[in-house]
A and B are shown apart, each in its own frame.
Chain A
């Protein structure tokens, strides 16, 4: 059972466009939602993350929008550039519990392959 559903599978935009990638989760116990960027042959790189107490977070050209009631969150890339062409993964994890040794493992979506054309 997939706990984090990501769409679209692939996306092509022109330079300067605003690609939007969407994710939906099922487990209401999740309380941390990061996005990772991955280039071919490399490990995933943490891009931006949000907790459910806010509805939006911006870091540079990257914005996360979060809708707790709908259990959805999305990544927006402003003024996209060819160098943003990569695979993007959303993820989710449960709360940290250092005393109980909780894992806080990340549950990933299936990824979106983004191509930004010059």
Chain B
């Protein structure tokens, strides 16, 4: 158990619809990451929060993507006007200790855009 839950686990949506994913660390972790993983590839960094501040966004995060972490605990990732190319596994990871490099991943949300 990595102490990170994600909801939903699977989402099927039609092109053009908006979707929102949620990441819930079990306990407080001030550093939270979102990654995207397409089939047969390693995860790619999307964005990073330190507490509620979003400190870095990847070029992969187009204008249609937005992430929030309103109270420095759970985080949401929203994709507007989904495209087929958005189909992927969206992974949330947390760094438990400020001085530790280790990142622990949640189970991910599998998005399929039809």
Interface residues of A (CB under 8 A from B): 6, 32, 34, 36, 41-46, 49, 89, 91, 93, 96, 98, 101, 103-111
Contacts and interface: CB of A to CB of B under 8 A. Distances in A.
Interface in B38-75: 40-45, 48, 50, 53, 55-56
Given A106-B33, A106-B93, 5 more contacts: A43-B105, A46-B103, A49-B101, A91-B42, A105-B33
Contact size class for B? 20 to 34
B33 to A, nearest CB: 7
A32 B56 CA distance: 19
Contacts of B105: 36, 43-46
Given A43-B91, A103-B48, A108-B43, A98 B99 contact: yes
Name B's interface SS. Answer: strand
Contacts of B107: 42-43
Contacts of A106: 33, 35, 43, 45, 93, 103
